[in-house]
Amino acid sequence: MKEKLYSDDDIRVLKGLTAVRVRPGMYIGSTGTRGLHHLVWEIIDNSKDEVLAGYADQIDVTIHRDNSVSVEDNGRGIPTGINRDEGIPTPTVVFTVLHAGGKFGGGEGYRKSGGLHGVGASVVNALSEWLEVEIHREGKVYKQRFEYIEEANGEMKVGHPVTDLVESGSTRKTGTIVRFKPDPLVFTETEYEYETLQARLKDNAYLLKGVTINLRDERVTPHRIDTFKFEEGIRAFIASLNEGKSTHHEIVYFDGERDGMEIELAFQYNDSATENLLSYVNTIPTIDEGTHVLGLRSAMTKVLNDYARKNNFLRKNDKNLSGTDYREGFMAVLSLRIDDPQFESQTKDKLGSEEARSAVDGFISDRMGFFLEENPETAKMIIDRAIESRKIKEEIRKATEALRNPGKRKRRGRRSISDKFTPPAKRDPSRNELFIVEGDSAGGSAINGRDRNFQAVLSLRGKPLNVEKRKIYEVIGPKGNEEINTIVEVIETGIGDDFEADKCSFDKIIIMTDADYDGAHIQILLLTLFYRYFPELVKRGKVFIAQPPLYKVYKQEKKQQRGSYCWSDEDRDEALEKLGRGAEIQRYKGLGEMNAEQLWDTTMNPATRRLIQVDIEDAAEAERIVTVLMGDRVPPRREWIQQNVKFVVEEE
């Protein structure tokens, strides 16, 4: 056996910002597009802290021509004196020391803060090529610059101050400007997406009632500029989210304080078959929810059941209605402002503060109970709808119980689920992949080209149902859509109240369609299905879109053929130039034009394929897009597709 050397010298101590540089995922989640934009969120969170403290009412975000980003607020400005703990200027501490900030000391710092851990500014500095801060405070302007430096001996100086904090002029303004450029040595992608910033800042403006947020993109001419300001706050947010939907009552709005926490809730029921609840803590989106959401749901269910019994909607022997019964079509925004929130990670996706649950529960119980008594027509609508929902779901449960029964499935075998489904040879949920394929011809190629050990194929015949326009009994069950019934049975998670993400039979669910308008439409229909009925699978990163090549560029030379597959016009042009005169182009108009070997090589082989992982980065924006694409209004759908979907159109 080979001797393994393991000595004291193998133990490394990562000091200061070096730890961030070496393990960035621990601080920003990823080094892809999501992590790239998270840098901006961290700096914006600091500006929002000034707003929440009552010292700022404007935030300006600019994407500069060099793809650096600046965030400016008109708050008090970072203090510029010498920090008593570190003995250096406070701005230097803020940008170079982890767990430093105004949220730890109480006093005149921040009580209700989004920057929980005090690492945001320093993490951004650590992961940038350079960062500059400009402070306007007490009539003076101060500046300092930080850079990443790698010495000749390999030593890293991460977020190193290359200048002292210097006074550079006088001013009548107050506030802080932070400008930084993400480091391509850290990130796989450094191009900021305007639409991603636009959607997040718009949501922030809804949450910060009356605050002006400006976004400017200097990479285009003329500069693109958006300004967001909403005097109605989250009421306007709900109106925006429900635009294009049929709603059943006026927007309901509660706000107040409980146990030192400021609580806001706006909701309105629409004609959807699913719930859509957006939750925030100190304006930070909690996409994985948390204790505040548990408090809301607990209170809503209890108060509605109490009202239903008191007013004879439920009789003595009737079971209580479930929370999911009441939340069908429930569109809501919950915003909590709390001192010292305890998130479960630096990315702040889930609130863990136990006191938030009881505070929200008590507040909503009081306000919702009063609302129901004062608005009996709305109360009746909510309860009648919940009763009908339970009835329908019970019918569906009985009708589909045999399909989901493991014993019965085992006896008849998975192949008999549907003649459109070809299962993998081995049952391994940690590795297996499901390809949902458009059409029989492509399905045949996929079945023959796949790795039978772990890849399954489900061939769709025709377009799936648009679930956005349907009730749940039209989606699943005996009166439901055959294609969707098959998908539900194949992935084995159940649906609705019976949904269990851990029972999913596949590690990856891959949507594979042609690169044309029909293919894009099928993608959108399937993504809407997963967004509405299997959102946890999307959150867990299990849903993907396959990227088949658009072209094959090749050149026949004597007895062999040289060439490559191309996924874009740019790839094609580069391949043509590389092969030179005599090169030919094969355009793939559909998956069925590729034989099994080609489909495996380009689209199914894990070693060579390209996949897009579906992610709900911004739940509010996802809701708006689904409504636009799947709703009844044609003009906004056409406009969105024209702006966001690009296909190669080849002349005959």
DSSP 508-556: EEEEE--SSHHHHHHHHHHHHHHHHH-HHHHHTT-EEEE---SEEEEEE
* d(C-alpha 89, C-alpha 79), whole Å: 9
> Is residue 343 one of the residues assigned to a domain?
yes
Out of 47-61, 156-170, 173-187, 525-539, pick the least confident. 525-539
Residues 342 and 490 in one domain: no
Q: How many distinct structural domains can be found in the chain?
A: 3
> Is residue 371 one of the residues assigned to a domain?
yes
- Is pLDDT above 50 for 506? yes
Cis omega before residue 222 (within 30°)?
A: yes
Between residues 44 and 18, which one has the greater pLDDT? 44
Question: CATH code at 443?
Answer: 3.40.50.670
Model confidence band, residue 12 (pLDDT cutoffs 50, 70, 90): very low
Residues 57 and 176 in one domain: yes
Residues 200 and 63 in one domain: yes
Residues 224 and 284 in one domain: no
Predicted TM-score (pTM) of this structure: 0.75
Residues 270 and 136 in one domain: no
Residues 214 and 333 in one domain: no
- By the 8 A CB rule, do 448 and 596 touch? yes
Residues 392 and 503 in one domain: no
Tally of residues, the chain = 652
- By the 8 A CB rule, do 386 and 319 touch? no
Among candidate residues 518, 573, 577, 632, the one labeled active-site is 518
Q: What is the pLDDT of residue 46?
A: 92
Out of 11-15, 202-206, 393-397, 549-553, pick the least confident. 11-15
> Is residue 139 one of the residues assigned to a domain?
yes
**Largest Cα span, the chain:** 87
Among residues 495, 517, 548, the one where a domain terminates is 548
Structure tokens at 103: 């949220």
Residues 118 and 200 in one domain: yes
Among residues 396, 429, 448, the one where a domain terminates is 396
> Is residue 162 one of the residues assigned to a domain?
yes
> Is residue 278 one of the residues assigned to a domain?
yes
Catalytic annotation present for 571: no
Sheet of 261-269: strand order equals: 252-258, 261-269, 330-337, 276-281, 284-285
Residues 322 and 390 in one domain: yes
Query: In sequence order, which ranges of 266-312 are alpha helices (DSSP H)?
Result: 291-310
Among candidate residues 132, 433, 438, 623, the one labeled active-site is 438
**Boundaries of domain holding 525:** 419-548
Count CB-CB contacts under 10 A for residue 179: 19
* d(C-alpha 468, C-alpha 532), whole Å: 8
Q: What is the pLDDT of residue 409?
A: 47
Among residues 230, 259, 281, the one where a domain terminates is 230
> Is residue 633 one of the residues assigned to a domain?
no
Catalytic annotation present for 262: no
Question: CATH code at 183?
Answer: 3.30.565.10
Among candidate residues 516, 593, 617, 621, the one labeled active-site is 516
Catalytic annotation present for 318: no
Model confidence band, residue 441 (pLDDT cutoffs 50, 70, 90): low
Model confidence band, residue 412 (pLDDT cutoffs 50, 70, 90): very low
Residues 53 and 98 in one domain: yes
> Is residue 180 one of the residues assigned to a domain?
yes
The residues near 570 (Cβ < 8 Å, ≥ 6 apart) are none
Question: What's the pLDDT tens digit per position in 447-472?
Answer: 888 999 999 999 887 778 888 777 77
- By the 8 A CB rule, do 433 and 507 touch? yes
Residues 173 and 266 in one domain: no
> Is residue 467 one of the residues assigned to a domain?
yes
- Is pLDDT above 90 for 383? yes
Among candidate residues 147, 514, 618, 623, the one labeled active-site is 514
Q: How many CA atoms lie within 13 A of 169 on its CB side?
A: 8
Residues 349 and 479 in one domain: no
User: Among 208, 266, 209, 260, which Cα is nearest to 232's?
Assistant: 209
Question: CATH code at 373?
Answer: 3.30.230.10
Q: Which residues pair with 217 in a beta bridge?
A: 63, 224
Question: What's the pLDDT tens digit per position in 574-631?
Answer: 888 888 787 888 888 777 778 888 889 888 999 988 888 887 765 566 666 666 566 6
Rounded to 5 degrees, what are φ and ψ at 427? -100, 95
- Is pLDDT above 80 for 93? yes
- Is pLDDT above 70 for 43? yes
